[in-house]
Amino acid sequence: MIRNLTGDIRAFTSNVFLVDGETTALVDTGANFDMVPTVREVTDSLDAVYLTHTHPDHIGNVDAVREAFDVQTWGYDTGNLAVDRRIDDGERVQIGDDVFEAVHTPGHKDDHLCFFSRGSGVCFAGDLVFANGGFGRTDLPEGDRGALVESIDRLREVVGGDLTELHTGHGPSVATRPSEDLELAARAARTR
Ligand SMILES: [Zn+2]
C-alpha cells in the first residue's frame, strides 16, 4: 500500500510516501514538520528510506527519521550527507511488495532518481514531472532544461505502456491514464 503522509500538512515540504508490504519504506522524508509521529501512526519500523534527490524540501526530515527508526537512506549521491547508501542507474530495489528500477534523471538536480516498478506499473517521479503536464523547475543550481527533457524522454522509454500510477514529489498523484500526464510534461518542458 502507498500512502502520501503529507496530505494534511501545511509546510514547505515535498510529498512523503510510505510504502508497506514485504518491506516498509519511505520515498523522500519531507521537511519543516514533525515526520516521526506521522510515520508511527502507520508503522513502528522502517526498512529503508529512498530519496528521489537531495533538495532541502525532500531531505529536511532525514536526520529525525534516521534517529527515530535506526534506518539508512538510499540515493544517487553519497557525497551528500543525507545519503547513506548509493543506488546506481538501473539498479533494482524492493519497495513494499514490488521491485523498482532506479532511473537516473538529471535536469532538475544532478542526483535525481525516478523509481519504476515494471510489475505494478507504479512510478515515483520525484520532481521530474507532476500531474497535468507539470515538470521540475530548472532555474536552481544544477538545473538544466535540455537535460530535463532528455530525462523525461528516458522515463517515457523505460515505462513504455506499463505506467499505472504516477506519484510525484509535489501535488496530487495520478492514477487515471498517467502516461498522458507524462506526455504532456514532455511536450510542455520543450516549449515553456
Ligand atoms: Zn527538488
pLDDT tens digits for 173-185? 999 999 999 999 9
- Compute φ and ψ for 147, nearest 5 degrees: -65, -35
How far is ligand 1, taken at its centre, from the CA of residue 131, in Å?
15
How far is ligand 1, taken at its centre, from the CA of residue 58, in Å?
7
Q: Please count the CA atoms within 13 angstroms of the CA of 121 that sit on its side-chain side.
A: 12
CATH number assigned to the domain comprising residue 168: 3.60.15.10
Dihedral sign for Cα 108, 53, 169, 23, please. Answer: positive
The pLDDT value recorded for residue 11 is 82
Please say whether the beta carbons of 103 and 154 come within 8 A.
Answer: yes
The pLDDT value recorded for residue 111 is 98
Task: Name which of 91, 39, 42, 94 is nearest 70 in CA terms.
Answer: 39
> Whose grid coordinates read 515526520?
35
The pLDDT value recorded for residue 8 is 76
56-112 confidence digits (pLDDT tens): 999 999 999 999 999 999 999 999 999 999 999 999 999 999 999 999 999 999 999
Ion ligand 1: residue ranges with CB closer than 5 A: 55, 127
How far is ligand 1, taken at its centre, from the CA of residue 54, in Å?
7
How far is ligand 1, taken at its centre, from the CA of residue 56, in Å?
8
How far is ligand 1, taken at its centre, from the CA of residue 12, in Å?
12
Count the domains in the chain: 1
Per-residue pLDDT band at 46 (split at 50, 70, 90): very high
How far is ligand 1, taken at its centre, from the CA of residue 57, in Å?
7
Q: Residue 140 to residues 84, 107, 110, 132, 136: CA-CA distances in angstroms?
A: 24, 10, 11, 22, 10
How far is ligand 1, taken at its centre, from the CA of residue 139, in Å?
11
Spell out the long-range contacts of 99-102 with Cβ–Cβ below 8 A and sequence spacing 24 or more.
100/124, 101/158, 102/76
Per-residue pLDDT band at 10 (split at 50, 70, 90): confident
Mean pLDDT, rounded, for 131-147:
97
Task: Name which of 89, 118, 116 is nearest 105 in CA terms.
Answer: 89
The pLDDT value recorded for residue 9 is 78
Q: Is the pLDDT score of 192 beyond 90?
A: no
Task: Name which of 127, 119, 79 is nearest 101 in CA terms.
Answer: 119
Range of the domain at 95: 2-191
Q: What is the mean pLDDT of the chain?
A: 97
How far is ligand 1, taken at its centre, from the CA of residue 115, in Å?
15
